[in-house]
Amino acid sequence: MDIIFMGSPEFSLPSLERLASDEKINVDLVVTQPPRKTGRGQKKTVTPVEKKSAKLNLEVMSFQDVNSPEAFEVLSSRNPDFFVVVAFGQILKRKTLKIPSAAPVNLHASLLPKYRGSSPIQHAVINGDKNSGVTTLIMDEDIDTGDILLKRKVPIDSEDTAGSLHDRLAAEGADLLCETLKGYYQGEIEPSPQNESRASYTPKLTREDGRLNFEKSAEELVDFIRGMNPWPGAYTTFRNKRLKVWKAKSASDLKISDDSGRPGTVIRAGSDDKLQVIAGRGVLQILSLQPEGGQRMQAEDFINGYQPEPGELLGG
């Protein structure tokens, strides 16, 4: 079968590699986002998918608008059986979606209809879910609303971050895509509509979404920190400068008095290398953090270098 693959970031790479290595699948063309200016020097940078396509000797193209007449002419001339879309970054309109003879198929990083949208991986971790997963679906004009083809559940470990879960979902999704394409092409998979009553949406995250709210419980804060790692990163402020928090745990065995201070107050920062902060319920023990302009470090090094005092307020 002939496919046109559409993807851009790191999440797309295992799928692209898996499809390209399958003898029954011909990746006729790869479509990715155009190069973008990044960094302080504003140098143009190509997507991870474009870099990987070059290594795999695959033809790759980019369009500012994949629904443009120019793009339509190119895509339709290839007569693909499938579009395979994995974190591409553009919404395909109806006319474009009708190009493949079999179907436009999307891989989504959640068990749909839960967590439609841009940040399903982060929200699965933030919400303390025990399981996540990947779903293949036939694309329609809306976001992640098409009929479901296959699903695969992936457990979430208590130590998982959004980053570690991202990598496992990307790998599982690659296998699921191959299974989906072959099964659907052979008429072995029947699409099923999504249950709209169970649908939920996740927004596109920004850097500011990582701000810690110490009114939440210590357990909720731990999950939030895991879910924001590595991007956009959980943060607070310390002495009027941004302080990223990379890892923490709940100090559930620690008892505090009512007059210890409000949420965000440091209650312990001493020679035992423990940096503990009052939460809305319980105590948060920060394990790894990064001061503004500095390197990521363990709590011990932060205490020795910055000497936070009990009673100081984070996020104030």
Annotated binding residue 9: no
**For residues 31 and 59, is the Cβ–Cβ distance under 8 A?**
no
- Where along the chain do its domains lie? 2-202, 207-306
Phi, psi at 43, each rounded to 5°: -80, 145
pTM over 0.85: yes
The reported pLDDT for the residue numbered 41 is 75
**For residues 35 and 92, is the Cβ–Cβ distance under 8 A?**
no
Annotated binding residue 113: yes
Among 135, 209, 169, which residue's Cα sits nearest to residue 10? 169
Annotated binding residue 111: yes
CATH architecture of 2-202: 3-Layer(aba) Sandwich (3.40)
CATH domain 207-306 topology: Methionyl-tRNA Fmet Formyltransferase; Chain A, domain 2 (3.10.25)
Per-residue pLDDT of the chain (316 residues; tens, 9 = 90+): 999 999 999 999 999 999 999 999 999 999 999 998 777 777 889 999 999 999 999 999 999 999 999 999 999 999 999 999 999 999 999 999 999 999 999 999 999 999 999 999 999 999 999 999 999 999 999 999 999 999 999 999 999 999 999 999 999 999 999 999 999 999 999 999 999 999 999 999 999 999 999 999 999 999 999 999 999 999 999 999 999 999 999 997 677 766 678 999 999 897 677 999 999 999 999 999 999 999 999 999 999 999 999 999 999 8
**For residues 303 and 273, is the Cβ–Cβ distance under 8 A?**
yes
Q: Strands 131-138 and 148-155: what pairing?
A: antiparallel
SS3 per residue for 10-46? HHHHHHHHHHHHCCCCEEEEEEECCCEEECCCCEEEC
